[in-house]
Structure 1
Amino acid sequence: MIVYEATKSEFLNDVFHDELVNNICRNYNAKIGRINEREVRAWDNSMQYMYRVLSDHEIPADAGVAIEFKIPYTSKRVDFLISGKQGEKNSVVIIELKQWKSVEKISGKEAIVKTVINRNLVETTHPSYQAWSYASLIKDYNENAQNDEIHLYPCAYLHNYIYQGDYDPLTDKVYRYYIEQAPVFLKGQAKQLRDFIKKYIQYGDNKENLYKIENGRIRPSKSLQDSLNSMLKGNPEFVMIDDQKVIFEQAIYLAKEALRTNTKQVLVVTGGPGTGKSVLAINLLVELTKQHMVCQYVTKNAAPRNIYATKLKRDFRKGVIDNLFKGSGSYIDASLDEFDALIVDEAHRLNEKSGMFSNLGENQMKEIIHASKFSIFFIDERQRVTLKDAGSIGEIKKFASEFGANLTIMNLESQFRCNGSDGYLAWIDDVLQIRETANADFIGGQYDFRVFDNPNKLREEIENLNKVNNKSRIVAGYCWNWDKVGQTNPDYFDIVIPEFDFKMSWNLGNTATWAIDENSVREAGCIHTCQGLEFDYVGVIIGDDLRYEKGSVVTDYTKRAKTDTSLKGLKKMIREEPEKALKLADEIIRNTYRTLMTRGQKGCFVFCTDKKLAAYLKERYQKSNKYETNEFFMSMVAEEKEKY
């Protein structure tokens, strides 16, 4: 969708007569919605600069000009496009316009800078990266751009930014790759930008290429499909086996049926920790994209999105597949059946409403089913860990019925975590008194479970194990504040246990990939940074919100940190519905530790601030260990008897 389009001569005329911004505003209100004053000021300012750049007779009068092109299936809008021809080739120049006056370089993060936006100093993408990524999205998803070989030439124009010489942070060598893909032009470089445009727009096209881009059918390009496929082949952790493959084939069948019969299909996949829900989700994302379907991987929690995107990228540049990974609040304004498929991981974490204040939209489950022809929800209702977590099989059923969708429910049973031990998961449920299980005293397999009396010893063991392959991490219950002052400082210690002189920082706020970062073994993760992810070994620090008293495991919501928003709204609920509120808080705390204690594939090490809880866990494990030894002995005797 394009907000404003014209030929170059019409654009110059609109600017000269002060009609351009009025025309943009009218079209914006009609096509997108209410406009804010900041954007109006930005247009008024930037378009004066573009007027001067395009006031050159060598730029064809009938070249196409578009302002605010909304890229389909995203909230992103391209600031300025110029279309025409370079010889016989169809050409479109993409210009990202910025009002910026200063920039700070950010090391250790690809294509990220810091600048003032809306009076706040924030981290954002480099302008060259922005322009390049927009061009990549159009190229990868617009069928007309692919079939008609429309060549896209991105650049950025910071008309208020004064060049600072050889050490200018904006043009630092760390951004070289993206600047080479999309040159950046600064204040006083209007001539260079004009020359860049003239190089690719030699003849006018009377807006023809703009029309093709705006009306092109949206389909993933062959190159994107091939890239995703090769990325997946290079990641052995995404190989499917057993019931994963069965559900995978059923999901592909349902996705095709949704398209063939024009009937919505909803698939719900249940499964506990380590049953391979995320592996299946990623494989479906790749396969459906390969089959020319427009699909996205969706989670509320950013941590798994960032990790999987990073793993899939490997040697591919950032941004090529970023549009495939989305937050659960992305579908508020989506139209009916806008997507072929939406793949929802961690569906138990979905909220009723979206936005910072949970006041946007109607219901995330409903919005996802509305927006997609085929939707698949991976869910484990025992992993709901905040009061806002509203994802449930019952609600999905209700909304599927509302839309007349065919509903299928399947279950993942095979265990790929905890050394393949279903027994450990049942044992944890019984130990934490979440539910009684038949094998209360049997872990099974060779799972390494240990209770440490000293958190420093636990940390030492995890750090040693991490040296093998960077797949061991420490996590903790949210009983210590995540102080803002230390969120980017690894030397600021949030978690302090004075009795043992133990100090540790929560995971830093300036990384999106804590789970795989090289040095983050020295930082503790919380439920929000590790849910949906797994490690070889996990060390869990259990805080005062979980204790052992009078023969029972008890929870105490008052021991949660003030900065934890998991139980936000609980006090009000206690006043209104005290029994329900306390039951919910109890479930959330137990579910949180269940989730933390099932992140390890090979082992889980625990330290408890409550000594009685530590003694209880040791006793339960010793019983289990004794039972397993007896089981082993009896099986050996049985084998010997069979020989004779």
Structure 2
Amino acid sequence: MLSQTTNAATQKISPDLPLTAKQAQLVQHILAFTARHLTTAGPAVFALYGDAGTGKSVVLAHLFNQIQVAARTQDASPFAHTENYFLVNHPEILKVYREIAGEHPHLLKKDFQRPTSLINQMAKDTVHPDVLVIDEAHLLLSQADHYNNFYGDNQLQSLLTTAKVIIVVFDETQVLRMKSFWTEARLEKLIAPYPHETYRLTHQFRMQASDKLVRWINDFTHQHLHPLPTDVGANYDLRVFDDAEQMRQAVVRRNQEVGLSRIVSTSGYPSTLDGGKHYITEGEFHLPWDQYNYTSTPWAELPQTINEVGSIYTCQGFDLNYVGIILGPPVSLDEHDHLAIHLDRYTDVEAFKKRADLTDPTELVHIKQQLILNSINVLMKRGVKGLYLYAHDARLRHYLQQRAL
């Protein structure tokens, strides 16, 4: 059945996808903002806020397609002959956008870039961007990162030095690493000196879940634990498992039925970037972490990845039909039924690398705990049709089971 879902990811953010009336109005508003500031001095910024699944990416896809059609075909347009790029700092999502480009006559694969690549081209004076559209701007680096060949202090600041208009999509609840640590307050402080507008999307488009379940996820990932709602949506399947292997089998069945169903996990299990396989074991459950995907196909669309465990780095920004989540050792329930986050059990060594501008010990503990909670938020909102849960911590597992009526 998986063949029926080939290119499913591209269909969910394609510029051919119909927009709601409000989304179409928003695209036109951003186009007008961009055209107005193309001829003014200094950069202008439009910030689009919204939680996971609120339709940010499809708005950007429509917006960028219209900009490029005008740039390449409409000599009377304010966008005529402008040089524009779409940036995303996530390799799996970049693959989806480049696949979309191959299906549209006025979108070129080279229009879609990683931020570091474009910044380095700007430094060599080989590109001169007019308009930049940035998806997942919360993944932009906010400090130097030699591993990614970025030697500046902040990627957005570097991009502002050249571009005339920048449109960013931003969700602070999807910030996952210290090297890309952002908050709305930090973003707003950075863009305050420039002409700017903001807009917040609130309607949930991805998940066919009830508003009550979406609120429960948001509360859970801010350490506000309360019973799972009984009303999760007529077309949504929520299950809590006592056995991770049974959950895996349920996800495999869903994958056979409708495709794009995968097991994912939080950090907290052996994981090293050494090219080898590292396994997650929970009772009879025993599968390796996702392997680096060298193909042009997104990880979740590769048939063999039904036998791997996905991470935030392969799933962020990507829609699955059903997602089975393992809440690993860093997450537990204490004796007072409060959600506890254990930093010492987090095995993603890249997440907590030091940075010079964050030194207060109390603040650092809070930030690191929130990064872990953000990763859970990202994973829990991957499933369009269903969410399956298994918790490593027996107390948390039983708490969730007893209240999932």
Q: Indicate the residue corresponding to 2:376 in structure 1.
A: 593
Contact 2:287 2:308 in 1 (8 A): yes
CA distance in 1, matches of 2:387, 2:217: 11
Q: Indicate the residue corresponding to 1:324 in structure 2.
A: 111
| From 293, 312, 334, the counterpart of 1:549 | 334
| From 442, 445, 457, the counterpart of 2:233 | 445
* 1:530 equivalent in alignment to 2:325: no
- Name the aligned partner's letter for residue 213 of structure 2: Y
Q: Deviations over 1:460-489 (max 9, x none)?
A: 1111111234211111111123345654xx
Contact 1:427 1:442 in 2 (8 A): no
Q: Indicate the residue corresponding to 1:289 in structure 2.
A: 68
Q: Indicate the residue corresponding to 1:207 in structure 2.
A: none
CA distance in 1, matches of 2:291, 2:45: 38
CA distance in 1, matches of 2:43, 2:317: 27
Aligned-residue offset at 1:304: 0.9
| From 242, 266, 275, the counterpart of 1:477 | 266
Aligned-residue offset at 1:239: 3.1
CA distance in 1, matches of 2:103, 2:242: 40
* 1:277 equivalent in alignment to 2:67: no
Q: Indicate the residue corresponding to 1:267 in structure 2.
A: 46
Q: Indicate the residue corresponding to 1:356 in structure 2.
A: 146
1:244/1:435 Cα in 2 relative to 1: closer, same or farther (>3 Å)? farther
| From 121, 132, 137, the counterpart of 1:342 | 132
Q: Deviations over 1:404-435 (max 9, x none)?
A: x3210101122112205333221112234445
1:385/1:282 Cα in 2 relative to 1: closer, same or farther (>3 Å)? same
Q: Equivalences for 1:442-521 in 2 at 5 Å? A: 443-446=231-234, 447-484=236-273, 487=276, 492=277, 494-497=279-282, 500-512=283-295, 513-521=298-306
| From 421, 425, 428, the counterpart of 2:214 | 425
Q: Deviations over 1:159-208 (max 9, x none)?
A: xxxxxxxxxxxxxxxxxxxxxxxxxxxxxxxxxxxxxxxxxxxxxxxxxx
Q: Indicate the residue corresponding to 1:412 in structure 2.
A: 201
CA-based RMSD: 3.0
Q: Indicate the residue corresponding to 2:366 in structure 1.
A: 583
Contact 1:426 1:440 in 2 (8 A): no
Aligned-residue offset at 1:237: 7.6
Q: Deviations over 1:216-237 (max 9, x none)?
A: xxxxxxxxxxxxxxx9899588
SS at match of 2:177: coil
Q: Indicate the residue corresponding to 2:190 in structure 1.
A: 399
1:429/1:370 Cα in 2 relative to 1: closer, same or farther (>3 Å)? same
1:466/1:325 Cα in 2 relative to 1: closer, same or farther (>3 Å)? same
Q: Give the structure-1-normalised TM-score.
A: 0.54
Aligned-residue offset at 1:357: 4.7
> Across the two proteins, how many residue pairs are aligned to each other?
377
Aligned-residue offset at 1:348: 1.5
SS at match of 2:180: coil
Aligned-residue offset at 1:377: 1.1
1:315/1:238 Cα in 2 relative to 1: closer, same or farther (>3 Å)? closer
* 1:375 equivalent in alignment to 2:163: no
Contact 2:174 2:374 in 1 (8 A): yes
Aligned-residue offset at 1:394: 2.9
Contact 1:397 1:407 in 2 (8 A): no
CA distance in 1, matches of 2:209, 2:12: 23
- Name the aligned partner's letter for residue 338 of structure 1: H
CA distance in 2, matches of 1:515, 1:241: 27
Contact 2:54 2:202 in 1 (8 A): yes
In structure 1, stretches of 5+ residues that fail to align are 1-230, 623-644
- Name the aligned partner's letter for residue 395 of structure 2: K
| From 15, 18, 22, the counterpart of 1:239 | 18
- Name the aligned partner's letter for residue 603 of structure 1: G
Q: Deviations over 1:541-588 (max 9, x none)?
A: 111000011210100111122x53112239x999x5321121111111
SS at match of 1:339: coil
CA distance in 2, matches of 1:234, 1:595: 18
| From 565, 573, 578, the counterpart of 2:350 | 565
- Name the aligned partner's letter for residue 317 of structure 2: G
CA distance in 2, matches of 1:520, 1:436: 32
SS at match of 1:450: strand
SS at match of 1:372: coil
CA distance in 1, matches of 2:141, 2:52: 20
Q: Indicate the residue corresponding to 2:76 in structure 1.
A: none
CA distance in 2, matches of 1:233, 1:413: 18
Q: Give the structure-2-normalised TM-score.
A: 0.83
CA distance in 2, matches of 1:620, 1:246: 41
1:620/1:312 Cα in 2 relative to 1: closer, same or farther (>3 Å)? farther
CA distance in 2, matches of 1:248, 1:288: 10
CA distance in 2, matches of 1:603, 1:233: 17
- Name the aligned partner's letter for residue 544 of structure 1: P
CA distance in 2, matches of 1:347, 1:234: 17
Range with greater deviation from structure 2 (379-388 or 253-262):
253-262
Contact 1:449 1:605 in 2 (8 A): yes
CA distance in 2, matches of 1:305, 1:296: 12
CA distance in 2, matches of 1:234, 1:430: 27
1:381/1:419 Cα in 2 relative to 1: closer, same or farther (>3 Å)? same
CA distance in 1, matches of 2:104, 2:303: 17
CA distance in 1, matches of 2:13, 2:225: 41
1:442/1:434 Cα in 2 relative to 1: closer, same or farther (>3 Å)? farther
SS at match of 1:533: coil
Q: Indicate the residue corresponding to 2:390 in structure 1.
A: 607
CA distance in 2, matches of 1:514, 1:376: 27
CA distance in 1, matches of 2:270, 2:33: 45
In structure 2, stretches of 5+ residues that fail to align are 1-9, 72-81
Q: Deviations over 1:82-118 (max 9, x none)?
A: xxxxxxxxxxxxxxxxxxxxxxxxxxxxxxxxxxxxx
- Name the aligned partner's letter for residue 168 of structure 2: F
CA distance in 2, matches of 1:238, 1:533: 16
Which structure would you say has the larger Rg? 1
Q: Equivalences for 1:150-229 in 2 at 5 Å? A: none
Contact 1:431 1:440 in 2 (8 A): no
Aligned-residue offset at 1:302: 1.5
Q: Deviations over 1:293-324 (max 9, x none)?
A: 422221222221112323443699xxx83312
Contact 2:131 2:164 in 1 (8 A): yes
SS at match of 2:326: strand
- Name the aligned partner's letter for residue 341 of structure 1: V
SS at match of 1:418: coil
- Name the aligned partner's letter for residue 594 of structure 1: N
1:589/1:450 Cα in 2 relative to 1: closer, same or farther (>3 Å)? same
- Name the aligned partner's letter for residue 268 of structure 1: A
SS at match of 2:389: strand
